[in-house]
Amino acid sequence: MKTSRRIALAVALSLPVIPLVVSAQQPAGPAAAQQAEPSKEAKEEASRRFKRGIELFGEGDYRAALIEFRRAYELAPNYNVLYNIGNVYFQLQDYANALVSFEKYLAEGGASIDPKRRADVDKDIEKLRTRVARVEIMTSVPDADVTIDDVPVGKSPFAKPLLVNPGRHRIVATKEGRTSASKTIEVASFDSEKVTLDLAEIAPKPAETGTVPTALPTASATPTSSATSTGPVLPPPPPPKSVPWAGWGVTGALAIGAIATGALALSKNGELADLRKPDSGATKDQLDDASSSTATLALVSDIFTGAAVVAGAVTLYFTVRDPGPAKEQPKTGLIKRVDVGVSPTGFTLKGSF
């Protein structure tokens, strides 16, 4: 690209008004001749903006120059301004809009364009066509407003693909009563991309359909039967576990009794050993009495130990078991009560059914 492009030095303001819509990328047609003639004030302002655009372009402020040239064309369209607009876009490396502007310049200028300038513009157009991509945009409904990178490009459907610069572009379509649709694409030079945007219909609100919302039941309404409930019926929560403290108390008492009688048995056994010594002088009756007491205490200790083991096992079972829902148990075979009895000659178990 040249560092400084050509700019028209004069502008004729004799052509009718044709609004500039570069983003729509549609060249002007024969209908342009039917537009109203710009007023004298519009022509004068267009001339001032055109000259200001030339000054800004010469200073290198291309974006400000572009705004002035486009405003001059809007006030009093003239094909010479399109030549300047195309050169500014080319300088800004906006190849798509430069190509559209040059093609529109040749279409509007026709035979009025100097042959040498037309040849130069044709060369620029050939170069620009190698630097742009084409996007064919289709929407599910007609008359949808379409934007590319937030710049309006017109309404669907489009007669031909739109020109875009290489790179990433976000395409959005909107229409009243429909959901917006968007798509982001990435294109390179010479690419031809097809984009289809589906704008779904927005569902009408309940008030718009004429339906009357059902009144909510009041607090005084009669509750419905549980049989008509559609929710799942949950089982009642399990009863909390209860620790059988009485059983552990009995187990502890039996264990203490076993320890106590065991200690007494050991003590009596020591006394019996002393009486059996040759120098103890113990009589036969004393030896028999000590031996009988030792045996009795040992038996009682064993009984207490066995009873403590049984009571502890039963109590442990009732402690760790999972209490399920209460069920009616048959009366036959159930032990309602167990009593443990201890005597010098043994122990007894009594139960009621």
141-145, 221-225, 317-321: the lowest-pLDDT one: 221-225
Tell me, what's the pLDDT at 197? 96
Tell me, what's the pLDDT at 296? 87
Calculate mean pLDDT across residues 76-99: 96
**% of the chain residues with pLDDT over 90:** 46
Cβ-Cβ contacts under 8 Å for 274 (sequence gap 6 or more): 280
At residue 299, does pLDDT exceed 90? no
Cβ-contact 69, 7 below 8 angstroms: no
Of these ranges, 232-241, 250-259, 268-277, 281-290, the one predicted with the greatest mean pLDDT is: 250-259
CA Rg value for the chain: 54
Q: What one-letter code names the amino acid at 17?
A: V
| Euclidean distance between CA atoms 288 and 206, whole angstroms | 107
Q: What one-character-per-residue DSSP string does 246-296 give?
A: HHHHHHHHHHHHHHHHHHHHHHHHHHHHHHTSTTS---HHHHHHHHHHHHH
| Euclidean distance between CA atoms 136 and 193, whole angstroms | 6
Cβ-contact 338, 349 below 8 angstroms: yes
Task: Say how many residues make up the chain.
Answer: 353
Tell me, what's the pLDDT at 31? 40
Q: Per-residue pLDDT tens for 162-180?
A: 999 999 999 999 999 999 9
Give the residue, 246 or 60, on which the prediction is more confident.
60
Extents of the domains making up the chain: 22-129, 133-197, 245-322
User: Cα 338 vs. chain centroid, distance in angstroms?
Assistant: 65
Tell me, what's the pLDDT at 217? 55
Please provide residue 164's backbone torsions phi and psi, each rounded to the nearest 5 degrees: -135, 155
Cβ-Cβ contacts under 8 Å for 341 (sequence gap 6 or more): 347, 348, 349, 350
- Return the structure tokens found at 209: 């359909």
201 in helix, strand or coil? strand
Give the residue, 12 or 188, on which the prediction is more confident.
188
Tell me, what's the pLDDT at 92? 96
77-86, 263-272, 340-349: the lowest-pLDDT one: 340-349
CATH superfamily of 22-129: Tetratricopeptide repeat domain (1.25.40.10)
- Per the listing, tokens 């080319």 go with 90
Cβ-contact 96, 88 below 8 angstroms: no
Give the residue, 42 or 2, on which the prediction is more confident.
42
What is the model's pTM? 0.51
* pLDDT grade for 303, boundaries at 50, 70 and 90: confident
**% of the chain residues with pLDDT over 70:** 70
Please provide residue 348's backbone torsions phi and psi, each rounded to the nearest 5 degrees: -125, 150
Please provide residue 329's backbone torsions phi and psi, each rounded to the nearest 5 degrees: -95, 145
| Euclidean distance between CA atoms 174 and 195, whole angstroms | 14
Q: Per-residue pLDDT tens for 305-317?
A: 888 788 778 777 7
Give 133-197's CATH code, choosing from 3.40.50.11810, 2.60.40.1120, 2.40.50.180, 3.50.30.30.
2.60.40.1120
Tell me, what's the pLDDT at 66? 96
By C-alpha distance, which of 190, 57, 217 is closest to 135? 190
Angle between helix 79-91 and helix 95-109 axes, rounded to 10 deg: 160
* pLDDT grade for 241, boundaries at 50, 70 and 90: low
Q: Per-residue pLDDT tens for 11-62?
A: 443 333 333 333 334 444 444 445 678 999 999 999 999 999 999 999 999 9
Cβ-contact 132, 189 below 8 angstroms: yes
54-68, 105-119, 138-152, 227-241: the lowest-pLDDT one: 227-241
* pLDDT grade for 89, boundaries at 50, 70 and 90: very high
Tell me, what's the pLDDT at 232? 63
Contacts 24+ apart (CB under 8 A), 167-173: 169/135, 171/135, 171/137, 171/146, 171/147, 171/195, 171/197, 172/146, 172/147, 172/197, 173/137, 173/139, 173/144, 173/145, 173/146, 173/197, 173/199
The pairing of strands 181-187 and 145-148 is unpaired
| Euclidean distance between CA atoms 301 and 263, whole angstroms | 9
Cβ-contact 79, 108 below 8 angstroms: yes
Calculate mean pLDDT across residues 326-343: 54
Tell me, what's the pLDDT at 130? 95
Report the chain's mean pLDDT, rounded to a whole number: 79
Give the residue, 283 or 337, on which the prediction is more confident.
283
* pLDDT grade for 226, boundaries at 50, 70 and 90: very low
75-79, 130-134, 248-252: the lowest-pLDDT one: 248-252
